[in-house]
């Protein structure tokens, strides 16, 4: 797997072998950052939940994100994320939390401009997670939440204060982008 754009473009990063992690393909990551580029320019602070290899967060760092917090509960994934950050030169602009997403949401206190959610496709609690994130201290008025999910499992147009602004399908992968509704 390669970084598709920015300062680390073309660098190869590691993924977990086998089917334990479903990495976002290069093609889909390129499309994700094309969509994000047309919506949101402020990537000062990002959060990569269910980070796997860290590909989404590292891609954001390569494309000028200021800082990314990575969260994954698998120790092997956390080790690979740290190796990938070293390899791409972004270790000083990131932190890896090796714990469940639920635990991380309990102690993270920053506000994030960009949040990636790429849970296992079989995770049936994604809607509850989005509702929880929408009402959390992690969301600011300019937050963008990008969710990668199975096309066969569509998401709602609204989760609390988060509204879907864009959706695109790539085979079995669907990318849904949400923004916070700001009261006028």
Domain ranges of the chain: 6-11+43-180
132 CB contacts (<8 Å, ≥6 apart)? 105
Q: Is the pTM of this model over 0.85?
A: yes
Count the Cβ atoms, other than its own, within 10 Å of residue 124: 9
Q: Output the CA angle 118-155-101, nearest 5 degrees.
A: 35
Q: What is the pLDDT of residue 40?
A: 66
The residue count of the chain comes to 184
Q: What is the pLDDT of residue 182?
A: 64
170 CB contacts (<8 Å, ≥6 apart)? 25, 27, 28, 31
Per residue in 97-108, pLDDT tens? 999 999 999 999
Question: 3-state SS of the chain: helix, strand, coil percent to 5?
Answer: 30, 30, 40
> 151: which DSSP letter?
T
Instruction: Read off the pLDDT of each residue in 69-76 and give the average, rounded to a whole number.
Output: 96
Contact 53, 15 (CB under 8 A): yes
Distance of alpha carbon 27 from the chain centroid: 16
Class of domain 6-11+43-180: alpha beta
User: What is the C-alpha separation between 183 and 30, in angstroms, rounded?
Assistant: 32
Residue 63's pLDDT band, with cuts at 50, 70 and 90, is very high
Tokens representing residue 136 in the block: 């959390």
Contact 57, 70 (CB under 8 A): yes
């Amino acid at each position: 797997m390669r970084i598709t754009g920015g300062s680390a473009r073309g660098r190869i990063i590691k993924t977990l072998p086998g089917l334990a992690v479903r990495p976002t393909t290069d093609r889909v990551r390129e499309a994700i950052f094309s969509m994000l580029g047309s919506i949101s320019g402020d990537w000062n602070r990002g959060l990569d939940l269910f980070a796997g290899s860290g590909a989404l967060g590292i891609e954001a760092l390569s494309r000028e994100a200021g800082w990314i917090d990575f969260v994954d509960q698998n120790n092997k994934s956390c080790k690979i994320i740290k190796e990938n950050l070293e390899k791409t030169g972004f270790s000083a602009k990131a932190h890896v939390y090796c714990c469940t997403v639920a635990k991380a949401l309990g102690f993270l206190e920053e506000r994030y401009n960009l949040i990636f959610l790429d849970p296992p496709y079989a995770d049936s609690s994604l809607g509850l997670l989005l509702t929880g994130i929408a009402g959390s201290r992690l969301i600011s008025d300019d937050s963008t939440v990008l969710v990668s999910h199975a096309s066969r499992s569509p998401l709602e147009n609204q989760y609390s204060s988060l509204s879907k602004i864009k959706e695109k399908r790539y085979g079995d992968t669907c990318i849904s982008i949400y923004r916070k509704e700001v009261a006028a």
